[in-house]
Homo-oligomer: A and B are copies of this chain.
């Protein structure tokens, strides 16, 4: 496969950024890979694992001459990382990201984007609750979907290269506008994280019994309650208008079930459970 980028700077060499570097290097589609971050032990580990060639705690130094700046930091920090790195990037560099929220990120990054650069919002839907370079793996993305949200400052050549990048790593790329992405992700990812955090919080006084007796259903449902705090507080705030709507929709369904349970209404419960089961059957592969 031909080389797509000569030098990429990865801001945030964690599960996503580190896995992108590993996978892209394995495919031979990137030249030099430089890490940028706040936590030197994590960057050192990334270099030791062969994820990156070099790193710097200084944004300009890390970004020097790069033709791709890849943002895998919490979404609330992306615009500030772009501001710090941009002066050192190649004048026609592409900036892209892996954030779980798109409209707010696009708005904020476009506000600080130099004239000749492109920003292409992207969201590879892969990952997990683990964090850090230690969790990175080259096969993280293969077979999963990736949403790209081209905007006003996405040159078509830049969109093409970002699409090529994720397709080269085995992802199924889908394009949509940032608002559609945020509405959908509020339902399939952000709301489930709220539920997992709320459930763990609700049972926090019974951790001993829960640890001993919880089965697979509880463990699968709360697995994502181990997700990184800052990543998720940023996502919730950045996507709060869509997430508020999704939380309202969930509340309606939850209160309907709760009412039927409180009144011991078998017929109502059966019909609500059946409706949920049918919705589940439709999304099952």
Secondary structure class of chain A's binding surface, majority of residues: helix
Separation of A198 and B145 alpha carbons in the complex (Å): 25
Task: Report whether A193 and B217 are in contact in the complex, using a CB–CB cutoff of 8 Å.
Answer: yes
Interface residues of A in 246-281 (CB under 8 A from B): 246-247, 249-250, 252-254, 256-258, 260-262, 264, 266, 269-270, 272-281
Say which residue of B233, B264, B279 sits within 8 Å of A200 (CB atoms). Answer: B279
Interface presence of A229 (CB below 8 A): yes
Copies in the complex: 2
Say which residue of B198, B200, B220, B282 sits within 8 Å of A221 (CB atoms). Answer: B220
Task: Report whether B253 and A199 are in contact in the complex, using a CB–CB cutoff of 8 Å.
Answer: yes
Q: Mark A217-235, 1 if CB is under 8 A from B, else 0.
A: 1101111111101101110
Q: Mark A198-211, 1 if CB is under 8 A from B, else 0.
A: 11111110110111
Which B residues lie within 8 Å of A230 (CB)? 270
Say which residue of B128, B174, B188, B240 sits within 8 Å of A214 (CB atoms). Answer: B188
Separation of A34 and B207 alpha carbons in the complex (Å): 40
